[in-house]
Amino acid sequence: MAPRLPRRTFLQSAAAGSALLGLGDLSFLSKLRPVSADEARPDPKLVRLDAGIEPLVRLLEETPRNRLLEEVAGRIKKGLNYRDLLAALQLAGVRNVQPRPRVGFKFHAVLVVNSAHLASLSSPDSDRWLPIFWSLDYFKAAQAQNQEETGWRMSPVNETKVPSSRKARQAFVQAMDNWDEYAADLAVAGLARSTGANEVFELFAHYGPRDFRDIGHKAIFVANSWRTLQCIGWQHAEPILRSLAYALLRYDKVNPAKGDEPADRPYRRNQGIAAKIRTEWQEGKPSKDATADLLAVLREGSEDETCDKVVALLNGGTAPQSVWDGLFAGAGELLMRHPGIIALHSVTSTNAMHFAYQQSANDETRRLLLLQNAAFIPLFRKNLDSLSKDHIEALEPLPLETNEPVTEIFTNLSQNRMVAARKTLAYLNDHPEPKDLMEMARLLVFLKGTDSHDYKFSSAVLEDFNHISPEWRARFLATTMFQLRGAGDKDNRLVERTREALKS
């Protein structure tokens, strides 16, 4: 029988009613006014935020790390609202953290903002500040690293050369096709000032997944920046889009417009085979067998073979949803076969490309997103050694042994991840809407998470559970136990620091 944890060591979640192992009572958060769901959610009537956001951004930039939580807590007590703080955090990140030498590493201070926001949205009102306070502290660490490495800060755009509204779109496409950073910076400033948000998103959704450099972070940045802007307001778009264009144009030595690097080949090939997909490709029928067939190719096939399989399935009348089921399940299975940072990004990049696919209204872009995602998973697999032979379909449920199943699962998670995964599958067979389990997963990230990937991964997979067909979603969520935080993991210091910040 799994060991029972003393009940006194657990917190009670008001929203889920589930037991939480951790740092004691979170009632100190009551010193901050709760963030309502409406305040954290994008406001469709919102045109502009406070035009004076610059002083708040400077506060985040200039306050020492060991004082920032106290300063922000004081501002919140005086009325600082959630959206303005989220906007300032994103803007401080893109102005002070360079997406170089790669789109990742310290740049996760920018990439993680939307993931923290999603964690806030899905939390009880009383807990919504915790992910944002974590992101504030993480930004200060990244800012210091950036300062030590290069001292880079985003410079003003050359106003004399920003293209007119009539020429901005063409200039942007030409610059992105030529991998021209300077021209793209000018063009994107013109786009932000003159072009509708949806049209701008379509352009970035097209370019985000075009190469496999930085293991999916480019596509992730496209999705996360767009989602953050939906909350904070389009008036903040220009610096964020400038950072995004700069990130998407990162390459190593040979300009991709003039070379033939492996990272660029799937996109070039997929542009051709995308045109071979039948016109009515989005009107197919769901097929669990088709999903299983795609999984078999994802396990052993090349990126070309996988993309060819997707085209064959769609042309054979399979619904795109069944293809996405295969991609979600394939990414989750890869994580189960080789837990770690590379396989984790097969999951988070799939989340990002699926989001862009859902948002895009352009048929060509949707085809390319699906095909590029199909190419990425074998590329992730090729970067891994010593893959286990575990298959997602072969995962067997393991009976639960206590009357506190969620506690049991997350206790086992710190001891044996496969046991936790199998017990999760058993739990989901009886609880197809696992609110308690999801609440526990989020709160353990708050209490135990120490890395941006804790937020990025948990926000992605808990969202994607509802994007997968019922016959696959339980198995997918079971595979996430190979990366989520367990009840026995070491506590982080953020909650205690936040508690101290709120004492006065």
Which tens digit of pLDDT belongs to each residue from 108-163? 999 999 999 999 988 887 778 889 999 999 999 999 999 999 999 999 999 999 99
Residues 6+ apart with CB under 8 A from 398: 419, 422, 423, 425, 426
Domain that holds residue 347: 262-382
Whole-number Å distance between alpha carbons of 260 and 434: 46
Report which residue type is found at 396.
E
Which helix (H) or strand (E) segment is 12 a member of?
strand 10-12
The 10 Å CB-count burial string (b at 16+, else e) for 53-68 is beebbebbbebeeeeb
Whole-number Å distance between alpha carbons of 291 and 123: 32
| CA trace torsion 365, 370, 372, 374 (10° rounding) | -170
> Residue 502: inside a domain, yes or no?
no
Three-point CA angle 352, 353, 354, nearest 5°: 90
- Per DSSP, the residues of 41-68 read S--TT-----TTHHHHHHHHHHS-HHHH
Rg (CA), the chain: 23
> Residue 431: inside a domain, yes or no?
no
**465 DSSP 8-state letter:** G
Whole-number Å distance between alpha carbons of 159 and 157: 6
pLDDT (tens place) for every residue of the chain, 504 residues total: 444 444 334 344 433 434 445 445 566 666 676 777 666 554 443 223 345 899 999 999 999 999 999 999 999 999 999 999 999 999 999 999 999 999 999 999 999 999 999 999 888 877 788 899 999 999 999 999 999 999 999 999 999 999 999 999 999 999 999 999 999 999 999 999 999 999 999 999 999 999 999 999 999 999 999 999 999 999 999 999 999 999 999 999 999 999 999 999 999 999 999 999 999 999 999 999 999 999 999 999 999 999 999 999 999 999 999 999 999 999 999 999 999 999 999 999 999 999 999 999 999 999 999 999 999 999 999 999 999 999 999 999 999 999 999 999 999 999 999 999 999 999 999 999 999 999 999 999 999 999 999 999 999 999 999 999 999 999 999 999 999 999 999 999 888 888 777 765
> Residue 362: inside a domain, yes or no?
yes
Residues 6+ apart with CB under 8 A from 497: 69, 137
Q: Are strands 19-21 and 10-12 parallel, antiparallel or unpaired?
A: antiparallel
Q: What is the pLDDT of residue 295?
A: 98
Q: How many domains does the chain have?
A: 1
Whole-number Å distance between alpha carbons of 107 and 226: 16
Residues 6+ apart with CB under 8 A from 493: none
> Residue 116: inside a domain, yes or no?
no
> Residue 167: inside a domain, yes or no?
no
Residue with tokens 């901005």: 168
Q: How many CB atoms lie within 10 A of CB 411?
A: 21
> Residue 115: inside a domain, yes or no?
no
Three-point CA angle 296, 298, 301, nearest 5°: 90
* Reported pTM: 0.91
Tokens of 156: 């003003």
Q: What is the pLDDT of residue 39?
A: 63
Q: Which of 334, 112, 103 is nearest to 211 (CA)?
A: 103
Q: Which of 352, 465, 466, 437 is nearest to 114 (CA)?
A: 352
Residues 6+ apart with CB under 8 A from 279: none
> Residue 57: inside a domain, yes or no?
no
CA atoms within 13 A on the CB side of 75: 19
Q: Which of 403, 389, 421 is nearest to 486 (CA)?
A: 421
> Residue 359: inside a domain, yes or no?
yes
Alpha helices in 151-196 (DSSP H): 165-178, 181-194
Tokens of 357: 């696919």
